[in-house]
Amino acid sequence: MPRPAAGAPQSAWTDPDCPVARTLDLVGDRWSLLVIRDAMDGVRSFTEFRRRTGIARNILTDRLRKLTEHGLLTQRTAPSGRRMEYVLSDTGRDLFPVLLALRQWGERHAFDAGEPHSLLLDRHGARVPDIVPTGADGGVIDADTTHVQKLG
């Protein structure tokens, strides 16, 4: 199913007033997020995306097209001049905290105690600290301390 563009009419969105639903309409499938993850890891070529994810060719073609159409990836000529490569746009890079939150949730809940998994390290080789959302007063916020206010 084609996903609506950011400026699409409200009828094209799953839940037009919800930022979470709109985000999921754009990147809410497994393959899109894995492509974005790998692009953040420096993957640029169709072949390398396919090798790292195991995704079928036709699905990868579709996801790369959609992510490019929606401005999360940009396409450019590879340095060799023979092929195209995919690079994260600023919009795509803005998904880093989302992927970090998913990673950290997975580290806490998707592995058995002691089960090996990959680690995300900063440029100095230290483990990236857990994300802790804070409010305007600096206090920790969570689902019990926030609420949604509809606008308009």
**Tens-place pLDDT, residues 88-121:** 999 999 999 999 999 999 999 999 999 999 999 9
In this prediction, what percent of the chain has a pLDDT beyond 70?
93
pTM of the prediction?
Answer: 0.86
Report the candidate in 77, 137, 133, 71 with the shortest Cα–Cα distance to residue 105. Answer: 133
Question: At a CB cut-off of 8 Å and minimum separation 6, what does 121 contact?
Answer: 127, 128
Q: Can you tell me the mean pLDDT for 38-61?
A: 97
Fold of 10-94: Arc Repressor Mutant, subunit A (1.10.10)
Residue 4, pLDDT > 90, answer: no
| Residue-level pLDDT at 6 | 64
pLDDT of residue 128: 97
C-alpha count within 13 angstroms, C-beta hemisphere, residue 4: 16
The band of 1, judged by pLDDT with boundaries at 50, 70 and 90, is very low
Mean pLDDT, all residues of the chain: 93
| Contact assessment for residue 53 and residue 34, using Cβ atoms and an 8 Å cutoff | yes
Q: Which two tokens stand for residue 152?
A: 């308009």
Q: Under a CB-based contact definition with an 8 Å cutoff, are residues 14 and 2 in contact?
A: no
Q: If pLDDT is split at 50, 70 and 90, which confidence band does 16 have? A: confident
pLDDT exceeds 70 at position 2: no
Domain layout of the chain by residue ranges: 10-94
